[in-house]
Structure 1
């Protein structure tokens, strides 16, 4: 198997070369039998106070969806008002809207959507430990048509709820700078990418910089930001190494690092003190690489699990899931087991191995589903018979096999989801549906599976399993 980057977390697994999680759900071309219409310096005590709300959150959201209505999610009225951390409405130049008594932090995305969600989780956690206000840019399309418009973070995630729970404001770039502005702003930022790579001599780019009209002068971070030893080929930097660059003493000692003039104005700027910025924050850890896969992950514990869905997106996913399960109007959404089987680009990791020997078969997946059903039955007293499949598989015969298992899926073609809501939505809805399973079964190595598994465990206290693949009998146990 090919060795590579961000999709796999264990040494005995196949690895991939791409930096992106480019997965998107497949829309089957045939129909199921049923017909359906279809976020000043914050002190540590403030952060800890926000985290203390975890207990309450666990009580509210540890139940399968059948015991709560998606429309009954608590309403957060913005006790932490993000707008008080800017001068006013968005301005032509972002700096005109910054408060002199506030420090900020930002970064940008350049991978697949799930990886970008994790990147923003890392950014917000870094904001907490540096006492800064994070500024979040829009998601940019990578798994969907590149002509698709960017999508605001706050239209996917509930920012007031997130801000209140973590005890920190969260700003979006369009709240700071006018999205239609043609002013090209100069900004000095830290370049992590060059410090953690052996064969790269530039910062990691992002189309977000073009959209935000930012002309960046990059300064290479010191080599000691790398999480692992220099001789280890790994792209990760350390949270606290990067955080130290946001404080005066460490920052002042490393301002003479390699600096590159900005591409348009050709100005060389020191890393900005008011707006601490880094090129790319996906590959960041406290102790190990790919930490979102680990139960102690600080980015997940203090930020990620509090990134709940925007209420309207949650409702829309519930409506799609109900139609997939043929739930009559007026009846509660029943508990279901969600499955995420990623095949699409993973085919390239099978090399010469036939796909039916590389990917786990449906009976193997069913065995994992049965384990989850049994755990729900014995530990929660819940009998769960509904199973919803999400996958990028394109083989109609495979989907026929899914139907024969008695499982269902959301038929986005019949729902006309892309046509009505836009091309982002099938991926968003798949993620919400996965997260709301009473239990979950996923694909080993996929970051989409990793985050879905974490959500089901944290939000619903649900059992999860991950199916191994890559060689015959990979998931034998």
Structure 2
């Protein structure tokens, strides 16, 4: 049986661009999962030679030995003004932010410039020629190879998909071009949100040593020009139900018309096995090199709009869908060796705006004052909702399929005990915060009876104030800021929160099992 796949602007980004999407508008939601044998980060893209940041370091070092004093001082001044300056991040508690009282705090207000492209003082990624252009090829460097792909799931799975894309870029020596997130779970009328409006891209580049560029930096999001490109169709080679490339609304937003070439059957992890859809990083990487590409070319499908017939692009290597990719076994984000998590996912930190709003919500949940530091706490994620469809033939789904609150409480106690023993941190029940999609008031009353608190997006009007995506993103950020975490088995949302708590805070985590009566009894 196939396991369930489960589980939201204006600001100046790391290159100095002014972004025009307001944080009061919708964010998003989605998911991803998998990687392959990890090279050392030191062996990343040799074809790119030294990335721009290393080049600047060497230039300054050379200038300090050979240039005049005034030039040295000028170089130092430029470096100290760099937008890549390090940020201080708290490990075991969020310091108080100057954000005003909780209910009086509006969505962050950001300056919007319509003539960003005309402002020559702005810096751009070293992997584009300048400001975003009407056609994406006009802004790409001839001496750089790129890689891209599209998302087609829920938000957490889409995050995992982009992590897989970025890791595949590392092992193919290509610069990933990362697209936006799309509102797959909050209604098609909601806006998209850029990757860099959720995750701190300059910090990711600095911490991971991996350079990426966003599609909004390459092609003008307002462009109406439709670009043709040839890509690999992985989807038809790894599953047997849908006889077409994986569909994605990203192509509509980016104005891309794809001519797909079907990938060879050997990209599938388990040949001829209908219950798994995974390929592997290195089988896909093979298609990114000239000899393997040439040996595996077959007739491409005409693109849907222009009827263009194009082989897979060599300048911008692209694949239709990279959620089902692994190094050695399916759903590898579940395992601590996961290279996509170790080399990519753990370095995807929230933007400062999201961190500040997260601290605001945690203070609200704990009835703290705006100037108070956020204390160490335990977060709980309970996923019910559509999981009920997996409880076939079970009458009392809440108690005989889902993990009962008694089982969750046992897991919370285990986390409390571990934190006290291993870190000397005592977390009372009043510092346990629960996030869930459960709507039953009686269930929440039982949660309250344990002394735990809830994040109440309905009562606090999160969607109305900040946008429909914020309940999803803020819950993930709240979970990841905790020192302890209890999640739901088979929820990718819980999987990423567990990984973040472990990697970012050396925290204690547990997962509550479900699916049949006493599934979590131990």
Tell me the equivalent position of 1:34.
none
TM, length-normalised to structure 2: 0.78
The partner residue of 1:115 within 137, 157, 160 is 157
Match of 1:336 in 2: 377
- Show the counterpart of 2:246: 204
User: CA 1:290 to 1:460, structure 2 compared with 1: closer, same or farther past 3 Å?
Assistant: same
2:173 aligns to what? Answer: 131
Alignment of 1:65-144 (within 5 A): 65=93, 83-144=125-186
Closer, same or farther in 2 for the Cα pair 1:93/1:129, shift >3 Å?
Answer: same
Spell out the pairing of 1:244-263 with structure 2 (5 A cutoff): 244-255=286-297, 257-263=298-304
- Structure 2 CA distance, aligned partners of 1:304 and 1:82? 24
**Residue in 2 aligned with 1:409?**
454
Distance 1:414 1:198, change over 3 A: closer
Return 5+ residue gaps in structure 1 as ranges: 9-20, 24-40, 51-59, 72-80
SS in 2 for 1:154: helix
Deviation of residue 5 (structure 1)?
Answer: 4.7
Rg larger in 1 or in 2?
2
TM-score (norm: length of structure 1): 0.85
- Corresponding residue for residue 156 of structure 1: 198
Give the secondary-structure state (helix, strand or coil) at the position aligned to 2:361. helix
Is the CA contact (8 Å cut-off) linking 1:82 and 1:170 kept in structure 2? no
Structure 2 unmatched ranges of 5 or more: 8-28, 32-43, 55-87, 99-122
Give distance in 2, aligned partners of 1:141 and 1:238.
Answer: 27
How far has the Cα of 1:392 moved from its partner? 0.5
- SS of residue in 2 equivalent to 1:309: coil
Partner of 2:498: 453
Q: How many pairs align?
A: 426
Q: How does 1:169-180 map to 2 (within 5 A)?
A: 169-180=211-222
Partner of 2:45: 42
2:521 matched residue in structure 1: 476
Q: What's the secondary structure of 2:501's corresponding residue?
A: helix
Match of 1:374 among 405, 409, 417: 417
Q: Deviations over 1:270-308 (max 9, x none)?
A: 100000000000000011110111110000000000001
1:272 matched residue in structure 2 = 313
Q: Deviations over 1:28-47 (max 9, x none)?
A: xxxxxxxxxxxxx8239979
| Matched residue, 2:58 | none
Give the whole-Å Cα distance in 1 for the aligned partners of 2:254 and 2:97: 34
How far the C-alpha of 1:450 sits from its partner, in A, is 0.5
- 411, 433, 442: which one pairs with 2:487? 442
Superposition deviation, residue 412 in structure 1: 1.5
The one-character-per-residue Cα deviations of 1:433-454 (angstroms, maximum 9, x if unpaired) are 0111110000001000100000
Kept in 2: contact 1:46–1:167 (CA 8 A)? no
Distance in 2 separating the partners of 1:82 and 1:170 = 12
Residue 258 of structure 1: how far off its partner (Å) = 4.2
Partner of 1:56: none
Contact 1:335 1:438 in 2 (8 A): yes
Q: Does 1:186 align with 2:228?
A: yes
* RMSD of aligned alpha carbons: 2.2
Instruction: Supply the distance in 2 between the matched residues of 1:5 and 1:102 (Cα, whole angstroms).
Output: 39
**Structure 2 CA distance for partners of 1:169 and 1:155, relative to 1, 3 Å:** same
Specify the SS of the correspondent of 1:394. Answer: coil
Q: Does the 8 Å CA contact 2:205/2:212 hold for their aligned counterparts?
A: yes
Aligned ranges 1:295-334 → 2 under 5 Å: 295-334=336-375
How far is the alpha carbon of 1:61 from its aligned partner?
6.5
Deviation sequence 1:142-171 (CA, Å, 0-9, x none) = 111211000111010000011112222211
Correspondence for 1:427 among 450, 457, 472: 472
Q: Which runs of 4+ in 1 moved over 4 A?
A: 44-47, 68-71
Asked if 1 retains the 8 angstrom alpha-carbon contact of 2:152 and 2:158, the reply is yes
- Secondary structure of the residue aligned to 2:126 is helix
* Contact map agreement 1:6 1:290 (CA 8 A) in 2: no
Match of 1:75 in 2: none
Give 1:358's aligned residue.
401
